[in-house]
Amino acid sequence: MRLLLVEDHVPLADELLAGLNRQGYAVDWLADGRDAVHQGSTEPYDLIILDLGLPGLPGLDVLAQWRASGLATPVLILTARGSWAERIEGLKAGADDYLTKPFHPEELYLRIQALLRRSHGQVNQPTLQAAGLHLDEGRQCVVRDGNDIQLTAAEFRLLRYFMLHPEQILSKSHLAEHLYDGETERDSNVLEVHVNHLRRKLGKSVIETRRGQGYLFGGQAR
């Protein structure tokens, strides 16, 4: 999953970038609201983390411009302690959730997971579930019939994206756009290798190749 972090406090941004990378997210970072308006509208992000106190353009104005342009990407806003008025204005402007500073990183990770599940129709699920699999995002492994199946970091990132998009044809270019940040070179051959590794672990039928189109996830794992 590819995230955009818009935060001008460098020490906090560095901490969040490191933590989100460990959680298997590809993250682009911006510190200026004006840059965020453009990049958030033109790049295919799965979720945006938006601080409200930004230079260039305040976060509320950034969010308002995104929503006015029709951007539906989930947005989690960060606010200072006690700024209840900002939280209300943020929710009115179209934010999907908010988190008050200071916060524990684990809370941020859980809120992100919940927002992503909700935005893909898994509203009442405590974990990500599809094709007979349960994804344990904390341990970065998959559970089938009560048994753990270990995954590499790359396999975990790819499987999580597939499980959020079951029964959808996903091209290699689409997957690359959502699994890598803007600075990472994208190699479709590497994706094919990871798909084959997942098939060996989960069963060939779980990921179908649609020639000339991409991959379709959703066959029963076995």
Q: What domains lie within the chain, and their CATH numbers?
A: 2-120 (3.40.50.2300), 128-217 (1.10.10.10)
What is residue 189's predicted lDDT score, i.e. its pLDDT?
85
- Report the candidate in 56, 34, 49 with the shortest Cα–Cα distance to residue 1: 49
Q: Which of 53, 104, 46, 101 is nearest to 75 (CA)?
A: 46
Which residues are registered as beta bridge partners of 97?
76
Instruction: Extract the tokens encoding 24.
Output: 């298997």
- What pLDDT is attached to residue 218? 87
pLDDT value at position 122? 79
26, pLDDT greater than 60? yes
Mean pLDDT of the chain: 92
Mean pLDDT within 71-84 = 87
pLDDT bin (cut points 50, 70, 90) of residue 86 is confident
More confident residue, 123 or 58: 58
Describe the chain by its helix, strand, coil percentages, rounded to 5: 45, 20, 35
Q: What is the pLDDT of residue 186?
A: 77
% of the chain with per-residue pLDDT over 70:
97
